[in-house]
Amino acid sequence: MFRGLWTTFKSMFEKPVTISYPEVKRPVRERFKGRHILKRYDNGLEKCIGCALCAAACPSDAIFVEASENTDTERYSPGERYASTYEINMLRCIYCGFCEDACPTEAIVLGSDYELSFVDRAKAIYNKEMLLEPVPPNGKPTPQVTEPGLFTRSVPEMKDPTD
């Protein structure tokens, strides 16, 4: 009994390890897998070539990629194709990193952002504009061919239970 009381008494004088979360953010570990990021080259071209290997490697079928052909007048990636539509359903994603491993151009990486919250299921689908890195000063933005949130395979319409 005295050993338990001594442990309690001893811990009363130790500094607490509590962090005030919204004000103070704790740094994440080096191998942390957070929010996805689509990378760009230094000249502004996208690294993603629209091969959809990340979608094939995803065990939860959270990624949808649709490719289009590059032309000489409009070039968005160094290859023959680019991802005209790239969407990730963050509600389905299990943050395993298989998409990162499968990508031959290292276009998709899992970053360190962990603050992901959604009020609406449709807002949980990150489209290409939300995933791409900012455009460098000498680069040009890439258009999204389809409307954001059009990928509805994994987000069924929710029925109102009162109907």
Residues 123 and 131: their CA atoms lie apart, in Å, by 13
Q: Note whether residue 105 is domain-resident.
A: yes
Residue with tokens 């509805």: 152
- Please report which confidence band the pLDDT of residue 95 belongs to, taking 50, 70 and 90 as the band edges: very high
Q: Note whether residue 97 is domain-resident.
A: yes
Over residues 29-50, the pLDDT tens digits come to 999 999 999 999 888 889 999 9
| 136 or 11, higher pLDDT | 11
Count CA within 13 A, CB hemisphere, residue 133.
Answer: 21
Q: Note whether residue 144 is domain-resident.
A: no
Residues 66 and 76: their CA atoms lie apart, in Å, by 14
Q: Note whether residue 75 is domain-resident.
A: yes
Number of domains comprising the chain = 1
Residues 56 and 7: their CA atoms lie apart, in Å, by 54
